[in-house]
């Protein structure tokens, strides 16, 4: 992917510098005023000490659930986009591999959804209203969203299904939600459902694929099979009135894959999602209004079964912007980016880390003059970045960075990211090289998507911004880890209109989710930084509050936090005494409340009860710290921390996020337990780096890559690289691993070791490598 960095700038170097000096101002584009750089990301509630709201909300003491009083449901969101851009591009796709993108207009999408919704009622016989649930099972495509919009127009709740849940979990979800109708993308997926004997309530399957479904119809008597096009045509001939949803009605039951047991169904209403859309809208309105344009183009490749991608879609629709889908294979994503030339490119942290590694690898190979020019250009753009200026049209972009930017289409200026921490160095490099605003958010499905986010002017990494406008945030003490909210650290607790009401038909887990004030336990350890941003030490992600709980602002340039509460969020920290986190010290479990928060889990009253505290705040399970500027920093995760034999607590994800930056490492899993005094790790090395290092130092003698990994020399090399980068990042001796095992088999969604959002499934990894881990401890003891 990365074949270009400057390699031939010699004779014109000094002339270029003179040119830059004379033309500098021509290419500067200031997105935000410099006054926002020192603005607090979070403001403490006057009537609730220790509870923080978004720094954007200067004139209200409550989280904001709507950016527009007339936009209360997702139907209203789409109609706003339709009014802004009725004949403009809405949904794009490739008709066949390597063919140019084609687009449906907003009017065409609306009409297809209207006809499709009519057929769901008149032809299939579904009852309009939130008690009816329809499954959508397939990859991202225009028909996926048209199906969702059709359900919205008839107040039907959607339930996304996806393969990586596993067949048992898919069956469990179909059984629990009692859905009678499932929309699938392929004939093969329909066959799997038809062969499933454990879903007797299934009566209708709708197939998006244009292939023949006659064989399915002939070999089945109990389940009716329809094609997508067939229902569009049927609905067009027999249109019926829409049954529009109310704000409190369920839009989606989003099942979180989790790491143990069956998934939980997070119930999210139209109100929840609109609150999160409003939070994103208000950040851009305040700091980068030029991004609120129907000319924006979003590329969709992250799964629509997760709230992060759902939020990206609805935020595009509210602007009248276009959304185009990738070809369906990650391997061809670069080709899709180059052909589509999007302006908005959502990324997961793992991808940003990969971009950074590739840039650094190319830079190391460059000649001294090229490196000097790169570093000079980098520092010039860094100076702009520190003033809140993000741009991709300086002379340095034209001379140095434009070929890097061309690899992702050349027009990207907004890159939302979340789900895991991103190092400050990686964020800074990507912001400069791509010339794009990297909008870093922290959230959980229980809070829809966004809890905190950075602002467009943020340039320092290491945080995830302040609370979103829909978020109330607090820290809860975790005393066993010596985190106290009074010191600005603790479990991140979230509350607001974006927060779920609980888990579907799971009252026990719902009860665990909330504290006594109705704040959601995130399970993340957070730290509030001086500017009000939040820094997360451990994992990101919450569904019960739609998606966005906090976010940075466009003016944020300092990392290490995830911003202040979104406009729809009330946020507080809750004491976690067993981990020694106390809200009074500024640390604790993040608790969230607001119009974006769910009412609970579908048909799961026990889990719903667990979700909220006594004040209606959702328990996020994240440990957060409130920073001086009002931003939230996630510093830990309650469930992932463990104690070693000597009594010291260790946060493995913090260590993994450091180790994975070693050039020779692709993936790493750090483990330990209370019976052992030290840590061990399973490492998936970077194959190309290992092969090159081995060839430069030893005779290969025909050794395969797997054989190289078994040599003591390679094992020693990788361990030394881990310890080196750990030391550079101030890991103490207890946090450094003592033994490693190298494997050529990556952790993946397919082998069950990663969640669909690419987070490690720690219990599964521990079980999968149980024998290996035992042998590592025995080897060290010997």
Determine the pLDDT at residue 559: 58
Average pLDDT over residues 31-40: 52
Contact 468, 495 (CB under 8 A): no
Judge whether residue 21 has pLDDT over 80: no
> What are the phi and psi torsion angles at 775 (to 5°)?
-65, -35
- Higher per-residue pLDDT: 403 or 675: 403
Would you state the pLDDT for residue 116? Answer: 98
Q: What percent of the chain has pLDDT over 70?
A: 90
* DSSP per-residue letters across 535-559: EESS---EEEEBSEEEEBBBT--B-
Residues of the chain with CATH 3.30.300.30: 642-781
Smallest CA-to-CA distance from 232 within 203, 202, 210, 201 is with 210
Cβ(229)–Cβ(409) below 8 Å: no
Over 80: is that where the pLDDT of 30 sits?
no
Question: Architecture of domain 642-781 in CATH?
Answer: 2-Layer Sandwich (3.30)
Residue 503 near residue 602 (C-beta atoms within 8 A)? yes
Residue 354 phi, psi dihedral angles, 5° rounding? -65, -45
pLDDT classification of 193: cutoffs 50, 70, 90:
very high
Q: Give the mean model confidence (pLDDT) for residues 760-768.
A: 88
Phi, psi of 25 (to 5 degrees): -65, -25
> How confident is the prediction for the chain on average, in pLDDT?
88
Say if residues 183 and 208 touch (Cβ distance below 8 Å). Answer: yes
pLDDT bracket for residue 143 (50, 70, 90)? very high
CATH 1.10.260.40 holds for 102-269: no
The DSSP bridge partners found for residue 265 are 255
Residue 555 banded pLDDT, cuts 50, 70, 90 = low
Cβ contact 23:395 at 8 Å:
yes
Phi, psi of 189, deg, nearest 5: -70, -35
133-137 and 157-161 beta bridge pairing:
parallel
Measured between alpha carbons, how far is residue 307 from residues 5, 160, 450, 516 in Å?
36, 10, 9, 26
> Cα–Cα–Cα angle for 669, 552, 287, nearest 5°?
150
Q: What angle do CA 295, 143, 251 make, to 5 degrees?
A: 85
pLDDT above 60 (res 37):
no
Average pLDDT (619-648) is 78
Distance CA 328, CA 681 (A): 33
Over residues 11-33, mean pLDDT: 42
User: Poorest-confidence range of 195-209, 408-422, 627-641, 696-710?
Assistant: 627-641
List every span in the chain annotated with CATH 3.40.50.12780: 102-269
Q: How many residues does the chain have?
A: 782
Task: Please state the rounded mean pLDDT for residues 571-600.
Answer: 83
Instruction: Kindly indicate the confidence band of residue 11, based on its pLDDT and cuts at 50, 70 and 90.
Output: very low
Mean pLDDT to the nearest integer, 617-621: 89
**Mean pLDDT in residue range 78-101:** 97
Lowest mean pLDDT segment, chosen from 185-194, 261-270, 314-323, 548-557: 548-557
- Higher-pLDDT residue of 433 and 34 is 433
Position 146 confidence tier, pLDDT thresholds 50, 70, 90: very high
3-class SS at 105?
Answer: strand
More confident site: 547 or 338:
338
Closest CA to 719 of 704, 699, 741: 741
What percentage of the chain reaches a pLDDT higher than 90? 59
Ranges 123-132, 315-324, 350-359: which has the least confidence: 350-359
Distance of CA 247 to the CA centre of its chain: 25
Does 28 have pLDDT greater than 80?
Answer: no
Choose between 3 and 136: higher pLDDT.
136
**Is residue 93 packed enough to be buried (19+ CB in 10 Å), middle (13-18) or exposed (0-12)?**
buried
The pLDDT score that the predictor gives to residue 13 is: 47
Q: What is the mean pLDDT of residues 647-673?
A: 89
pLDDT at 708 over 50: yes
pLDDT in tens, 461-490: 778 899 999 999 999 998 877 789 998 999
């Amino acid at each position: 992917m990365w074949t270009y960095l400057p390699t031939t700038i010699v004779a014109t170097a000094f002339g270029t510098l003179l040119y830059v000096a004379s033309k500098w101002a021509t290419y500067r584009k200031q997105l935000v005023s410099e006054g926002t750089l020192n603005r607090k990301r979070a403001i403490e509630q006057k009537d609730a000490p220790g509870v923080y709201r978004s720094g954007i909300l200067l004139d209200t003491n409550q989280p904001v659930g709507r950016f527009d009083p007339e936009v209360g449901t997702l139907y209203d969101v789409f109609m706003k986009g339709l009014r802004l851009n009725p004949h403009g591009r809405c949904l794009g796709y490739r008709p066949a591999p390597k063919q140019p993108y084609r687009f449906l207009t907003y009017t065409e999408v609306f009409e297809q959804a209207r006809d499709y919704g009519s057929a769901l009622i008149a032809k299939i016989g579904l009852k309009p209203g939130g008690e009816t649930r329809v499954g959508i099972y397939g990859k991202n495509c225009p028909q996926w969203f048209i199906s969702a919009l059709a359900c919205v127009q008839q107040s039907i709740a959607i339930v996304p299904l996806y393969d990586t849940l596993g067949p048992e979990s898919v069956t469990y979800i179909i059984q629990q939600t009692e859905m009678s109708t499932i929309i699938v993308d392929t004939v093969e997926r329909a066959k799997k459902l038809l062969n499933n004997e454990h879903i007797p309530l299934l009566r209708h399957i709708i197939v998006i694929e244009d292939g023949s479904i006659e064989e399915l119809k002939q070999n089945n008597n109990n389940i009716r099979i329809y094609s997508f096009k067939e229902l569009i045509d049927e609905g067009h001939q027999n249109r019926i009135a829409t049954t529009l949803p109310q704000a409190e009605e369920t839009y989606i039951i989003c099942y979180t894959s989790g790491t143990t047991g069956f998934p939980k169904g997070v119930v999210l209403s139209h109100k929840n999602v609109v609150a999160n859309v409003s939070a994103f809208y208000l950040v851009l309105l305040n700091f980068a209004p030029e991004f609120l344009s129907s000319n924006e183009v979003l590329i969709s490749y992250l799964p629509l079964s997760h709230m992060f991608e759902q939020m990206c879609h609805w935020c595009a629709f509210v602007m009248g912007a276009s959304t185009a889908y990738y070809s369906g294979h990650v391997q061809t994503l670069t080709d899709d980016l180059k052909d589509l030339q999007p302006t908005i490119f959502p990324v997961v942290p793992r991808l940003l880390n990969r971009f950074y590694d590739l840039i650094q690898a190319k830079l190391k190979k460059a000649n001294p003059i090229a490196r000097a020019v790169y570093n000079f250009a980098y520092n010039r753009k860094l100076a702009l970045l520190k003033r809140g200026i993000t741009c991709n049209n300086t002379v340095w972009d034209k001379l140095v960075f434009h070929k890097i930017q061309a690899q992702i289409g050349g027009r990207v200026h907004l890159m939302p990211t979340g789900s895991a921490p991103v190092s400050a160095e990686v964020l800074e490099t990507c912001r400069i090289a791509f010339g794009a605003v990297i909008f870093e958010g922290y959230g959980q499905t229980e809070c829809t998507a966004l809890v905190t986010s950075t602002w467009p002017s943020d340039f320092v990494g290491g945080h995830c911004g302040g609370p979103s406008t829909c978020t109330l945030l607090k820290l809860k003490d975790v005393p066993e880890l010596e985190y106290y909210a009074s010191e600005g650290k603790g479990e991140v607790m979230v509350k607001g209109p974006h927060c779920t009401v609980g888990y579907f038909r799971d009252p026990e887990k719902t009860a665990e989710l909330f504290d006594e004030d109705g704040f959601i336990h995130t399970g993340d350890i957070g730290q509030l930084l001086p500017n009000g941003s939040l820094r997360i030490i451990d994992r990101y992600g919450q569904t019960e509050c739609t998606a966005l709980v906090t976010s940075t602002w466009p003016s944020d340039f300092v990392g290490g936090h995830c911003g202040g509460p979104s406009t729809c969020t009330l946020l507080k920290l809750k004491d976690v005494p067993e981990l020694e986190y106390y809200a009074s010290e500024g640390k604790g479990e993040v608790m969230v409340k607001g119009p974006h928060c769910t009412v609970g889990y579908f048909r799961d009253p026990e889990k719903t009860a667990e979700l909220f505290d006594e004040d209606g705040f959702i328990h996020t399970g994240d440990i957060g710290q409130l920073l001086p500027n009002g931003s939230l920093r996630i510093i830990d995760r309650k469930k992932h921390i463990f104690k070693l034999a000597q009594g010291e607590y260790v946060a493995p994800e913090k260590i993994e996020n450091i180790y994975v930056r070693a050039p020779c490492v692709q993936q790493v899993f750090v483990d330990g337990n209370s019976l052992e005094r030290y840590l061990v790790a399973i490492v998936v090395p970077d194959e190309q780096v290992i092969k090159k290092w081995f060839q430069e130092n030893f005779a290969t003698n025909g050794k395969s890559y797997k054989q190289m990994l078994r040599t003591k020399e390679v094992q020693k090399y990788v361990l030394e690289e881990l310890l080196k980068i750990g030391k550079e990042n101030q890991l103490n001796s207890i946090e450094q691993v003592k033994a490693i095992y190298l494997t050529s088999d990556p952790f993946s969604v397919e082998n069950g070791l990663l969640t669909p959002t690419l987070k490690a499934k720690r219990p599964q990894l521990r079980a999968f490598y149980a024998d290996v881990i035992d042998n590592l401890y025995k080897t060290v003891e010997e």
